Amino acid sequence: MTSKAKAALYDQFALVGKAFSNGRRAELVDVLAQGERSVEGLAEQISQSFANTSQHLQVLARSGLVTSRRDGNRVLYRLAGEPVEALWETLRGAAESVAGVHRAAEDYLGNRGELELVSRDELARRLDEGVLVWDVRPVAEFEAGHVPGAVSVPPGEVQRRLDEVPDGVEIVAYCRGRFCVFADEAVRALAGRNRPARRLEDGFPEWRRAGLPVAASSG
């Protein structure tokens, strides 16, 4: 009995690991770390069909990584709790030392050597000092939660919004995390207009989990 119970326990551990064995499911977890989303919204974010996205979500649900609720005609998904976010962060951190992951990150994110970073603690101290904070995630993620005082500048609007930045004002941009390219692209675009800009060292989920102030526009 003990041997069977032990095997069943480790099978459950493996079930959670298996849920991360597909890149689209890992991407879904990354998006859901920003807040609750509908299947339609998730499908758009990971560039998959509604049917494929639903199938991936069912795998994540069976593993206990996500939960869902009905809101009228929509089904909304969210991560099952902070331990799931922590697991995803740990997995990414451990994978960074793997050569293949490192090369793939460089191919996706480009050369980050020219990007100046700002820590969470420094940004928290400077929120009342006139720094302009850009949240360059999709609007739904901004509305679910953001850094207090941040301005929503969705990825597709960055170029159009460059001329709105007052001269001499420093900008800090952030998005979903260290492997999110939106903030990198915003900082590079701002630098191209000679605007002082830095990137938050990671992203909004890490900010929230650190217990720093959070504002929300919805609910």
144: nearest Cα among 201, 82, 73, 214: 214
Please tell me the number of Cα atoms within 13 Å of 29 on its side-chain side: 29
Neighbours of 32 (CB within 10 A): 24
CA atoms of 183 and 141, how far apart (whole Å): 14
CA atoms of 4 and 11, how far apart (whole Å): 10
Catalytic (active-site) positions:
175
The total number of residues written for the chain in this structure: 219
Please tell me the number of Cα atoms within 13 Å of 43 on its side-chain side: 13
**Strand, coil or helix: what is 44?**
helix
